[in-house]
Amino acid sequence: MPDMYRSPALEPYVDYGEIRGRENKEVKNKLSSRQTPKYTIPFVGMDIDHVKMMMPNKIKAGLAWRETHGLYGWDLDIESGYDKAQMDSINPYTMNADNAKGILEDGKKLYTSMCAHCHGEKGDGNGPMIKSGAYGSAGVVPDYKTLSALSNGQIFHSIYYGKGYMGAHGSILDKKEIWTLVHYVRQFQSEDYGKFESENKEESDESEPVEDEKMK
């Protein structure tokens, strides 16, 4: 009575091409899970800014990315949208004095696990994979400090769809995580990026004399 210990319901990521000694080559090695309908997004809450950030990309990679980066089945345009992404200068994941520390901490975790092996801990393009010679000579991965002219949209586009030797990360990172990485990359390019202490200090310095005057 195999049904007593084996669920008859379909389960994700199970090979149903061979069950109880019977082999069905037509479905063998095919995942039983199904992809969500095209252009749909998971429920991400009621925050309108967060929902907009998680919507499908309007600027897409080109059809060539199917062969160069294995993006078969992805929603692509005829030509690459990398140059169009230059106009996208605003990071929708807004950073302020209250969340800057948390964003950069999250960015460091993501960067360490997803990027540092090639881009290096300091973003100088000398990660252990590059030093090993696996991708040829040094300089294959650029130093982030030389890329300060790139817009936020171009950095996002490169991470999401891949560029050059770098593969696409859009299938393993959601859009919020990639925009978090954009913030983290920026702090390699500017020592003051994400620091709001000076503004707070100036505000407090301006207010203190007023308070002292009232006390007098």
Domain spans of the chain, in order of start: 1-34, 48-198
Residue type, 191: E
- pLDDT tens by residue, the chain, 216 residues: 555 666 556 566 666 676 677 777 777 666 666 667 777 778 889 999 999 999 989 999 999 999 999 998 899 999 999 999 999 999 999 999 999 999 999 999 999 999 999 999 999 999 999 888 887 776 789 999 999 999 999 999 999 999 998 999 999 999 999 999 999 999 999 999 999 875 555 444 554 444 444 444
24: CB partners within 8 A, 6+ apart: 16, 17, 18
Which residues contact residue 123 at a Cβ distance below 8 angstroms, ignoring those fewer than 6 apart? Answer: 143, 144, 145, 185, 188
Q: Are 118 and 134 in contact (CB under 8 A)?
A: no
Q: Within 13 Å of residue 2, how many CA atoms lie on the same side as its CB?
A: 5
Report the alpha-carbon distance of residue 122 to residue 117 in Å, rounded.
Answer: 11
| Homologous superfamily of the 48-198 domain (CATH) | Cytochrome c-like domain (1.10.760.10)
How many residues does this entry show for the chain? 216
